[in-house]
C-alpha cells in the first residue's frame, strides 16, 4: 500500500509591519544616546579636572572625581547591556548633585585662578539629562532647576571662583535652558511613543476580534460541510433501506446527524474545557454502530487521557466523516472496516485511524468540490493543531490517520 500525506496546512495571521516607534524602543534609544552623550562630555571634562587637581583636597576631592566619572562609565555599561539603565542614571544624577553641593569642602581656598569654571560645570547638562530619563516627570523637572541653582550658589562662593551673583545667575539660566530643552524633547517623544503603543493596542484588539469572527465563520462553513456529507450518507442509506432493520438504522443515522449538528454548533473554539478520551471513544463507537456497514472498533490507552473539548469535537467529526467516506466509496458489506483509537502517553500523540480494504482511491485525484476529505476531515483537524495522513491507492484500500497534536506542535 502506498502512502500519500495530507499537507499540514496551518492558518496563521500574517505578521504585521514592525512598529516604527514604541515606548520600549524609545527608552532604549534614549538611554543609549544620552549615555554616549555623557561619555563624550566626560572625556571633554578630563582636561579641566586634571588642571584643577592641585586645588582639590588630597582625599575627598579625588574621591568625588572618581565617583562622578565612575558613574558615567556605569551608565554607559548599563545602556549597552540594557540592564538597570534608569537606576544607573538616577545614581549618577544624585552623585553629581552631592558633589556640587559639597564643592566648597572639596577644594582649597583660595581657589584656582584665571576665571576657569569648576570642572563639574561641564557635566551639569549631562546630569539633568540623566535625571530626565531616570526620574518621573515632576522629579526630573525639579532636578533640572535645583542642580543648576546649587551649582550657581557654589560658583558664587570663593571656593567656586567667587564670580558674583550676576555671572552665577547667567550660568544657572544657561544650564536650566539646556536641561529644560532636553526634558521637553524627551517628554514629547515619550508621549508620542506611548500614543503609538496605545493606537497599536487598539488596532490589535480590533484585529483579534476580526480574526475571532472569521474563525467562527470558518467553523460554520466546516459544520455545513460535515452536515452536508452526513445528511447525504443518511439519505443514501434511507434510499437503499429495504428491510425494517435498514430503515431503523437509517433513522438512527438521521438522528445522530442532527445531534452532531447541535453539538458542533455549541462548541466554542476558545473553550479550554477538557473532556476524557474515553468519552470520545464511546461517541465514535455509538456513531459506528448506527452505520449500515460494520466497523471493528479497537482502543488502546484511552482511559485517563484528556483533550480540549474543541479538539475532541474535531476528532469526532473527522472520524465520523472518514467512516462515511468509507461506506460511500470503498464498497459494500464485503469490505472489512476498522477504526482504532490510541491515547497518547509520555509525549505521544492521540491517534485515530480509519482503515478499510476496499476500492481505494488516488488522494491527488479527489475533485476540489468534494468537501468531505479536504474540509470535513483535513482542515478541521489541522485547524485545532493536529495532522491528517491519507494512505490509499486504487485497489489497495484506504487508511486515514488523525493525529493530535501534530509533530511540530509537540516540538
pLDDT exceeds cutoff 90 at 163: no
DSSP state string for 213-270:
HHHHHHHHHHHHHHHHHHHHHHHHHHHT--SHHHHHHHHHHHHHHHHHHHHHHH--TT
Q: Report pLDDT digits (tens) over 352-364.
A: 899 988 888 877 7
Q: What is the mean pLDDT of residues 21-25?
A: 78
- The predicted structure's pLDDT at residue 266: 46
In this model, does residue 3 exceed pLDDT 50? no
Q: Which helix (H) or strand (E) holds 164?
A: none
Instruction: Give the Cα separation of 255 and 27 in Å (integer).
Output: 63
pLDDT of residue 142: 95
Give pTM, 2 decimals.
0.51
Asked: is 267-410 a CATH 3.30.565.10 domain? The reply is yes
For residue 1, is pLDDT > 50? no
Q: pLDDT-based confidence at 256, cuts 50/70/90?
A: low
Half-sphere exposure of 56 (CA within 13 A, CB side): 22
Among 53, 188, 176, 175, which Cα is nearest to 108's?
A: 53
pLDDT at 307 over 50: yes
Q: Whole-angstrom Cα distance, residue 77 to residue 148?
A: 26
pLDDT band at 242 (very low <50, low <70, confident <90, very high): low
| pLDDT score of 405 more than 50 | yes
C-alpha cell at 244: 425494517
Classify residue 10 by its DSSP letter.
-
Please calculate the CA angle 130-135-65 and round it to the nearest 5 degrees. Answer: 40
Give the model's pLDDT for residue 220: 62
Looking at 29-33, 218-222, 346-350, 395-399, which range is the least confident one? 218-222
For residue range 41-93, list pLDDT tens digits in order.
Answer: 889 899 888 888 888 888 888 899 999 999 999 999 999 998 999 999 999 99
Distance of CA 193 to the CA centre of its chain: 20
Query: How sure is the predictor about 140, in pLDDT bands with cuts at 50, 70 and 90?
Result: very high
Amino acid at each position: 500500500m502506498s502512502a500519500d500525506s495530507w499537507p499540514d496546512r496551518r492558518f496563521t495571521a500574517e505578521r504585521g509591519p514592525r512598529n516604527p516607534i514604541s515606548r520600549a524602543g524609545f527608552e532604549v534609544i534614549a538611554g543609549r544616546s544620552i549615555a554616549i552623550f555623557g561619555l563624550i562630555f566626560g572625556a571633554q571634562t578630563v582636561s579641566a579636572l586634571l588642571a584643577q587637581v592641585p586645588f582639590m583636597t588630597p582625599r575627598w576631592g579625588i574621591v568625588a572625581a572618581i565617583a562622578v566619572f565612575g558613574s558615567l562609565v556605569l551608565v554607559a555599561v548599563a545602556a549597552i547591556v540594557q540592564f538597570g539603565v534608569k537606576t544607573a542614571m538616577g545614581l549618577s544624577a544624585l552623585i553629581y548633585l552631592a558633589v556640587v553641593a559639597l564643592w566648597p569642602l572639596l577644594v582649597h581656598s583660595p581657589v584656582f585662578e584665571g576665571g576657569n569654571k569648576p570642572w563639574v560645570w561641564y557635566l551639569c547638562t549631562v546630569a539633568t539629562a540623566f535625571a530626565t530619563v531616570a526620574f518621573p516627570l515632576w522629579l526630573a523637572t525639579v532636578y533640572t532647576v535645583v542642580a543648576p541653582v546649587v551649582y550657581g550658589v557654589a560658583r558664587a562662593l570663593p571656593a567656586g571662583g567667587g564670580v558674583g551673583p550676576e555671572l552665577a545667575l547667567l550660568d544657572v539660566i544657561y544650564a536650566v535652558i539646556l536641561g529644560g530643552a532636553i526634558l521637553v524633547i524627551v517628554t514629547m517623544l515619550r508621549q508620542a511613543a506611548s500614543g503609538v503603543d496605545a493606537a497599536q493596542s487598539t488596532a490589535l484588539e480590533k484585529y483579534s476580534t476580526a480574526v475571532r469572527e472569521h474563525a467562527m465563520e470558518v467553523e460554520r462553513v466546516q459544520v455545513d460541510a460535515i452536515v452536508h456529507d452526513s445528511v447525504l450518507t443518511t439519505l443514501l442509506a434511507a434510499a437503499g433501506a429495504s428491510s425494517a432493520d435498514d430503515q431503523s438504522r437509517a433513522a438512527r443515522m438521521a438522528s445522530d446527524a442532527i445531534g452532531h449538528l447541535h453539538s458542533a454548533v455549541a462548541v466554542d473554539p476558545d473553550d479550554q474545557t477538557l473532556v476524557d478520551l474515553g468519552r470520545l471513544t464511546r461517541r465514535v463507537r455509538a456513531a459506528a454502530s448506527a452505520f449500515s456497514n460494520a466497523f471493528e472498533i479497537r482502543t488502546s490507552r484511552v482511559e485517563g487521557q484528556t483533550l480540549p473539548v474543541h479538539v475532541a469535537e474535531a476528532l469526532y467529526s473527522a472520524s465520523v466523516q472518514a467512516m462515511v467516506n468509507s461506506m460511500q466509496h470503498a464498497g459494500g458489506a464485503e469490505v472489512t472496516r476498522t477504526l482504532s483509537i490510541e491515547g497518547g502517553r509520555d509525549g505521544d500523540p492521540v491517534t485515530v485511524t480509519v482503515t478499510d480494504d476496499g476500492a481505494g482511491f488516488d488522494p491527488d485525484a479527489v475533485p476540489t468540490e468534494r468537501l468531505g476529505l479536504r474540509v470535513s476531515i483535513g482542515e478541521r483537524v489541522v485547524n485545532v493543531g493536529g495532522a491528517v495522513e491519507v494512505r490509499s491507492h486504487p485497489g489497495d484500500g484506504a487508511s486515514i490517520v488523525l493525529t493530535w497534536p501534530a509533530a511540530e506542535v509537540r516540538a
